[in-house]
Amino acid sequence: MLAYLAALYTLVRACGAERGTPLVQLITYTPYAAVGSLLAGGGVLFVSAPAGLVLIASGLVLAALVAPRLVPGRMPREGVRLRVMCANLLYGRNATPGFIEQLKVDDIDVLAVQELTADGLAALDEAGIDALLPYRVVAPAPGGGGSGLFSRHPISAPVSRTLEAIPMWQTAATVHVPGAGPVLVESAHPYPPRQRRVRIWRDQIATQAVPAAGGPPRVLLGDFNATLDHAALRRLLRAGYRDAAAERGRGLLPTWPCRTETLPFWTPPITLDHVLVDRRVGVREFGVRAAGESDHRPVVAELVLPAT
């Protein structure tokens, strides 16, 4: 039975065939399934060779699907530096002076936040975010639907939009980086794939903005409530993006959960927060930071934009 389930899981993941609950949720744990299948296969092999071989084969296929995230790509050539961070603030709770200090330490140029509430925005202002990142477009909202984008550099065409079905605000703007052309930046936050809400999650990922040929480079960063094992997120990548963490061989760094009091059950750490970059944009560094008061770790990337 275990070998049969492993083979079925591997087939679903390899074909991108996850649909509905619980498949979408289970596919999240593909890296763990790869390790578990290999270990189980090694143990079962001496009891039942066919079952053990099926488990080992399943583990090897899953490992092959995951492994590219651990292989860094070519370092970008010279260009204009842009340091970005995305952070889920957990209903505004992580809008703290410690969070602002981390922005200083990382010398952040553009910050995208999710779950921005009115109280969280007030706390960010009180902590002095305006002195670091004076340009903004914000859409605070109760609960987890708010969004914000803060920039060191001037912005134009600020936009706040809601994703359909369940209102999830996303903020975007054109950032004018000295020495580089304009770059489009958006704070992304699709609704999580909860039971009976998986279609909404998939549709909200599908409606994310994609790079346009001949247009400015685009950066899409935030809490996608998805891992690179989800077909929905991989389709978005194929539309013109690269995952910054995978570009630097750090695509399995977990970002959630860091707090468990908001969860009905324990779950292994997974990678839900991403920086997706236009293929014209290079990635020099990627890392995660301490969660503070949030249940998500902020992620930081140093990007390289084409010089003008």
Per-10-residue mean pLDDT, the chain, length 308: 96 97 97 98 93 98 98 94 98 98 98 98 98 98 97 98 95 98 97 95 98 95 98 98 98 92 82 98 98 97 96
> 41 lies in a domain?
yes
Are residue 64 and residue 104 in the same domain, yes or no? no
pTM above 0.75, yes or no: yes
The CATH number linked to 245 is: 3.60.10.10
Secondary structure of the chain in HEC code, one letter for each residue: CHHHHHHHHHHHHHHCCCCCCCHHHHHCCHHHHHHHHHHHHHHHCCCCHHHHHHHHHHHHHHHHHHHHHHCCCCCCCCCEEEEEEEEECCCCCCCCHHHHHHHHHHCCCEEEEECCCHHHHHHHHHHCHHHHCCEEEEECCCCCCCEEEEECCCEEEEEEEEECCCCEEEEEEEEECCCECEEEEEEECCCCCCCCCHHHHHHHHHCCCCCCCCCCCEEEEEECCCCCCCHHHHHHHHCCEEEHHHHCCCCCCCCECCCCCCCCCCCCCECCEEEEEECCCEEEEEEECCCCCCCCCCEEEEEEECEC
> 75 lies in a domain?
no
Residue 77 pLDDT: 86
Are residue 60 and residue 190 in the same domain, yes or no? no
Are residue 52 and residue 85 in the same domain, yes or no? no
Residue 263 pLDDT: 74
Are residue 207 and residue 134 in the same domain, yes or no? yes
> 205 lies in a domain?
yes
Tokens matching residue 87:
């952070």
Residue 187 pLDDT: 98
Are residue 257 and residue 128 in the same domain, yes or no? yes
Instruction: Identify the bridge partners of residue 149 per DSSP, sorted by sequence position.
Output: 112, 137
Are residue 103 and residue 63 in the same domain, yes or no? no
Are residue 18 and residue 167 in the same domain, yes or no? no
Are residue 109 and residue 255 in the same domain, yes or no? yes
| Owning domain of residue 146 | 80-305
Number of domains in the chain: 2
Are residue 50 and residue 164 in the same domain, yes or no? no
Are residue 65 and residue 84 in the same domain, yes or no? no
Q: Choose one of 46, 70, 94: the last residue of a domain.
A: 70
Residues 304, 75: Cα–Cα separation, whole Å: 10
Residues 224, 204: Cα–Cα separation, whole Å: 10
Residue 264 pLDDT: 73
